[in-house]
């Protein structure tokens, strides 16, 4: 039995990594460890029900990237591929067996578990907690949501004319957390590795 306050986790990996070239960035090696493995390992320190969202054709490579991790995530594959991150969030959250879940993109290997704990705390009694950056951008792929409410909002948004992720946020009672409010959280938490150059840069800095 787990308590109500335990957090689920969703790792989004169903994208086509087009900016990354011919390979899937989810399983790309970053200093000896696949990117998704880094994100999952960090998420596992604060979440106890882990779901990986990806496409059927990624399963084998992702399973092998997570082999011997001691973790046994469940897999929720997209019934229709290429419907965007919002569809991935929906599929992942529908599979989660917890009231709240942290959602993290597979290309965010430096995600700070302390941020996810803070967001989980802020989300209490609400439908989620999302960081809003100074430029107005919402960090929707490193956020905590009430699983059923956000899954429903994603489904409704995908059926509507305005399919932006922020349109899904507008459908739920989400707490917005400002960047200034993130004292003690790693500055690299939101770094996403979209290109080969970004991967090389991250690898260089890990070696420093």
- Which positions touch Mg ion (CB under 5 A)? 15
Give the binding range for ligand GTP (CB under 6 A) out of 42-50, 82-90, 116-124, 153-161.
Answer: 82-90
Interface residues for ligand GTP in 122-161 (CB under 6 A)?
A: 141
15 or 92: whose CB is closer to Mg ion? 15
Interface residues for ligand GTP in 41-80 (CB under 6 A)?
A: 53, 78
Give the binding range for ligand GTP (CB under 6 A) out of 42-50, 83-91, 156-164, 197-205.
Answer: 83-91
Annotated binding-site members for Mg(2+): 107
Beta strands 49-54; 7-12: pairing state: parallel
53 or 118: whose CB is closer to ligand GTP? 53
Q: Which of 43, 51, 62, 105 binds ligand GTP (CB under 6 A)?
A: 105
CB of 137 to ligand GTP, least distance (A): 13
For residue 14, state whether it binds ligand GTP (rule: CB under 6 A): yes
Among residues 103, 126, 133, 118, which one has the least CA distance to residue 174?
Answer: 126
The beta-strand segments (E) located in the chain are: 7-12, 29-30, 33-34, 49-54, 74-77, 100-105, 128-132, 142-146, 174-178
Expressed in percent and rounded to 5, the helix, strand and coil fractions of the chain are: 40, 20, 40
CB of 127 to ligand GTP, least distance (A): 20
Q: What does the alpha-carbon distance between residue 4 and residue 61 come to, in Å, rounded to a whole number?
A: 33
Please, what is the angle between helix 147-159 and helix 85-95, to 10°? 140
End-to-end CA distance of the chain: 43
Contact 204, 133 (CB under 8 A): no
Q: Which residues bind ligand GTP (CB under 6 A)?
A: 12-20, 53, 78, 82-85, 87-88, 105-107, 141, 192, 194
């Amino acid at each position: 039995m787990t308590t109500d306050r335990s957090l689920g986790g969703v790792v989004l990996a169903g994208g086509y990594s087009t900016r990354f070239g011919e390979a899937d960035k989810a399983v790309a090696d970053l200093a000896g460890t696949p990117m998704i493995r880094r994100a999952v390992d960090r998420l596992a320190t604060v979440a106890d029900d882990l779901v990986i969202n990806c496409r059927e054709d990624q399963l084998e490579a992702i399973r092998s990237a997570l082999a011997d991790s001691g973790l046994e995530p469940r897999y929720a594959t997209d019934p229709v591929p290429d419907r965007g991150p919002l569809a991935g969030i929906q599929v992942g959250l529908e599979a989660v067996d917890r009231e709240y879940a942290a959602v993290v993109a597979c290309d965010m290997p430096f995600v700070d578990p302390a941020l996810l704990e803070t967001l989980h705390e802020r989300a209490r009694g609400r439908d989620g907690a999302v960081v809003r950056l100074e430029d107005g951008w919402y960090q929707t792929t490193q956020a905590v949501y009430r699983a059923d409410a956000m899954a429903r909002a994603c489904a409704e948004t995908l059926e509507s004319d305005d399919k932006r992720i922020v349109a899904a946020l507008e459908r739920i009672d989400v707490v917005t957390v400002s960047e200034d409010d993130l004292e003690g959280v790693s500055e690299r938490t939101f770094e996403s590795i979209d290109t080969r150059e970004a991967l090389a840069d991250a690898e260089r800095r890990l070696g420093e």
